[in-house]
Amino acid sequence: MSTSAQASRAFGRTGVRVLRAAGVLLTAAAVTTATACGGTKGGVATTSGKTNIIQMGTINPPSGFNPINQSDVGGQWALGFELDTLLVQPNALDFQPKLANSFETTDDQNFTIKLNPKATWSDGKPVTAQDVVFTLNLIANPDSATAYGGDIATFKGVDPVTGKLPKGQTKIPGLTAVDDHTVKFQTATKVDPNLVKELVGTKILIIPEHVLSTIKPADFANSDYAKSPTVTDGPYKLTKYTANVSIEFTANEKYYLGAPKIKTFIQKIMPASDLAGELQTNTIQANSSGGIGNIPIQDLKTVKAMKNVTTTVSPTIGFQTILFNTKVFKSVKMRQGLAHAINRPQMISQLLKGNGQIIDGPYTSQSPYLDKSLKVTSYDPALAKKLIKESGWDMNTKIKFLIPTGNQIREEAGDIMAQNFKDIGLNVQVTKYDFPTVLSMEQKGNYDLGLLGLTFNVDPDVTSLYASTGSFNFTGYDDPESDKLLKEGKTEPDPNKRKAIYAKLQKIWQQDMPLLSTYSDDNISAKSKSLKVGGATPFWYGTTANLQDWEFSGAQ
């Protein structure tokens, strides 16, 4: 949602919660069906006359359920219901305990994690330090397919971009289980502790060693567990997935932080255009927001007028982007010309009704690392034509433009861009597919122009998107100076020095133009007034921090 890369988060905005590494996309239909929920009344499931079932509207189906190789936000969102991370981040840079009671360092290089001794797996076994070590080593293993390698790339002994160990090695140096509830690890250099807490603490889902230790890393992606985790430690258990329709969870009554108050949680997958109507009829009690379930701008006025829901509009760190395949568009002038041809002011005024912002790179106004002195690329068709002519591009050449479906605003933005390109004489051929298909094609470089919604972390590291070996570098961008500065930015512990490094990078990326951020749209979320606790939060990553505490105030 990524490219967090974190991949994302390919943030559908459909994409990536955070940009995540590219890897094999598993078909969500492979998940087997177990028990179903109770009956329904007015479209809302009920049990014994009590309100202990919630339906939450979302747009994007998960591309799979592999806990170490999930590059889309829809899949990451679903997995977060059944598997826990070490920490949660309810607010930006506010890290709180989950599986870990503490996650500390005294020198910005040696870290100690203390686990909650009450945490257990669904089969009754305790969650241990060995599970944490196993998970991190599996991600680092050179034979495993993973979307989370970049999250551990600061670790000692692994590749500083991919997070992978050298061929033949299977254990991260310095990563140890001191006892059943204590983990220690080292980073290659001193780093900003918030970087490690965010990437390692809040992004990586811990998986059970005692269940998975006999599976070879190269075979993990094809294992039953990677298709649908069975032994889990989160607040809910996946009970039924109906492809492109719904994901149903039941409460883990033995959850170590307390049994969830809402016993059945259904993520209902639907077109964005249906969210408002289903909120009004109480068929759903909230929308997931965060790009994978955002209420369309054109429905904002309608939803705000509803008496049965509360509506919130919040800025976001996520953004939409158009990728320029640098293997196709080798000339910088060609890519700059494409960027100047795009009418982004029209998107903000016409599509977003002013509820968004124009940016060129990966940082929105919510990021303290945004270089506000850098003037954004203008909409200038005349300049676009001039630059494209100077690039030597053959105007008769067909350009394959991939647009993912499911996000109505993005689709309409894609249509605007396609017309913009045609208006300056380019031969653009638009093809629309569902998001998982587009993501897969972009990962393989099977496109010329492609749209993708991304959401990174609060931390400014975007190595996965811009580094020459980055896991979400679908554009094929390769610049030595950019790679050098990305490495420096990732390993610099001083926030002020980091800000200067990322300011330099923003200038380089704007000049080289491997991609252009089209806009950052605000999150629009709504929830039933009967939902006492729960619903999407202004800082979207914090939405699922306390799922076990969600509850209704009374009968609906």
Q: Which of 178, 207, 226 is the last residue of a domain?
A: 226
Range of the domain at 139: 83-226
Q: Do 410 and 513 reside in the same domain of the chain? A: yes
For range 203-223, the mean pLDDT: 97
Q: Do 205 and 323 reside in the same domain of the chain? A: no
Specify the pLDDT at position 13.
Answer: 32
Three-class SS of residue 200? helix
DSSP code, position 244: T
Q: Is the pLDDT of residue 379 over 70?
A: yes
CATH code for the domain in which residue 157 is found: 3.90.76.10
Phi, psi of 413 (to 5 degrees): -65, -40
69-120 pLDDT, tens digit per residue, is 998 889 999 999 999 999 999 988 899 999 999 999 999 999 999 999 999 9
Q: Do 343 and 462 reside in the same domain of the chain? A: yes
539-550 pLDDT, tens digit per residue, is 888 999 999 999
Classify residue 237: in a domain, yes or no.
no
Q: Do 322 and 194 reside in the same domain of the chain? A: no
The number of distinct structural domains making up the chain is 2
Q: Do 325 and 428 reside in the same domain of the chain? A: yes
Q: Do 351 and 476 reside in the same domain of the chain? A: yes
DSSP letters for 435-471 = HHHHHHHHHTT--SEEEEEEE--SS---HHHHSTT-T
Specify the pLDDT at position 14.
Answer: 30
Classify residue 118: in a domain, yes or no.
yes
139-176 pLDDT, tens digit per residue, is 999 999 999 998 999 999 999 889 999 999 999 999 99
For range 388-408, the mean pLDDT: 95
Candidates 38, 92, 11; CA nearest to 367 is: 92
Classify residue 263: in a domain, yes or no.
no
Classify residue 299: in a domain, yes or no.
no
Whether the Cβ atoms of residue 53 and residue 293 lie closer than 8 Å to each other? no
Whether the Cβ atoms of residue 249 and residue 237 lie closer than 8 Å to each other? yes
Q: Do 215 and 358 reside in the same domain of the chain? A: no
Whether the Cβ atoms of residue 509 and residue 60 lie closer than 8 Å to each other? no
Classify residue 141: in a domain, yes or no.
yes
Instruction: Give the confidence band of 5 by pLDDT, cuts at 50, 70, 90.
Output: very low
Q: Do 375 and 493 reside in the same domain of the chain? A: yes
Classify residue 65: in a domain, yes or no.
no
Classify residue 324: in a domain, yes or no.
yes
Instruction: Give the confidence band of 51 by pLDDT, cuts at 50, 70, 90.
Output: low
Classify residue 19: in a domain, yes or no.
no
For range 450-475, the mean pLDDT: 91
Instruction: Give the confidence band of 190 by pLDDT, cuts at 50, 70, 90.
Output: very high
CATH code for the domain in which residue 444 is found: 3.10.105.10
DSSP letters for 100-158 = EEEEEESSSSEEEEEE-TT-B-TTSPBP-HHHHHHHHHHHH-TTS--S-GGGGTTBTTS
Q: Which of 165, 193, 226 is the last residue of a domain?
A: 226
Instruction: Give the confidence band of 43 by pLDDT, cuts at 50, 70, 90.
Output: very low
- Sign of the dihedral through C-alpha 466, 470, 471, 476: positive
Q: Which of 201, 226, 251 is the last residue of a domain?
A: 226
